[in-house]
Amino acid sequence: MEIVYLDSDIVVCLKPARVLSTDEPGGLPELLREALGDPKADIRTVHRLDRVVSGLMVLARNAKAASELSRQIRENKFEKEYLAVVHGAPEEAATLRDLLGRDKARKMTYVATEPARGVQEAVLHYQRLSAREELSKVRIQLETGRTHQIRVQFSSRGFPLVGERKYAELNDPCEIALWSYRLCFIHPATGERVEFTHQPPEIYPWTVF
């Protein structure tokens, strides 16, 4: 576990791929307790990354901090940016807006054609940073936080993320190329605006760029 920042109220770390964000055996809170050397440490998940996704996460270290961070997320005052590598070359910058539904039986998200029960609007903004070898590196700002939103919105337009196996039939030799790059929020104890950024690891496909 790589811990980026730690104080008595929050811990910012890099979640590895294939690790659950939630507090269960093998989940991120348990790994953080091991890293801190305190099996009874109060570590609370306030936002999530898909199991296969890596990068920055902040977790609360007490109930008050968890409540305040959760409030910021509900009120869209918690900023999250991602980096991704996609197949193809989407336009240089755009806003993607879809209606997304959730197939609970298959555990998959889909693009809906019209409003319906359980269907929610999904909005993200992206900028293409670079394009090489039929791949594009993009920076993504989420306006909403739907399950699998980034993966579905890009795949549905013919630009699946490298390493995608759920929403595209790809055989890329890597984990999914989606990285939680930036977090910005108000510190739950000090009231100060804090920002954390971290680049993806030097592995394929990030090394293409």
Q: What is the pLDDT of residues 173-189, one digit of tens each?
A: 999 999 999 999 999 99
* 119, pLDDT greater than 90: yes
Q: What is the pLDDT of residues 49-66, one digit of tens each?
A: 999 999 999 999 999 999
CA distance 116 to 61: 38
Peptide bond into 205 cis (omega under 30): yes
pLDDT score at 1: 84
The sign one gets for the Cα dihedral 160, 137, 119, 114 is negative
Angle at 50 between CA 47 and CA 54, to 5 degrees: 90
pLDDT band at 17 (very low <50, low <70, confident <90, very high): very high
Average pLDDT score over the chain: 96
CA distance 108 to 166: 8
50 classed as catalytic: yes
Q: What is the pLDDT of residues 77-96, one digit of tens each?
A: 999 999 999 999 999 999 99
pLDDT band at 108 (very low <50, low <70, confident <90, very high): very high
**Intra-chain end-to-end CA distance of the chain, in Å:** 26
Among 9, 50, 98, 172, the one annotated catalytic: 50
For 5, residues 6+ apart whose C-beta sits below 8 A from its C-beta are 11, 12, 196
pLDDT band at 148 (very low <50, low <70, confident <90, very high): very high
Return the SS3 of 44: strand
CA distance 205 to 196: 23
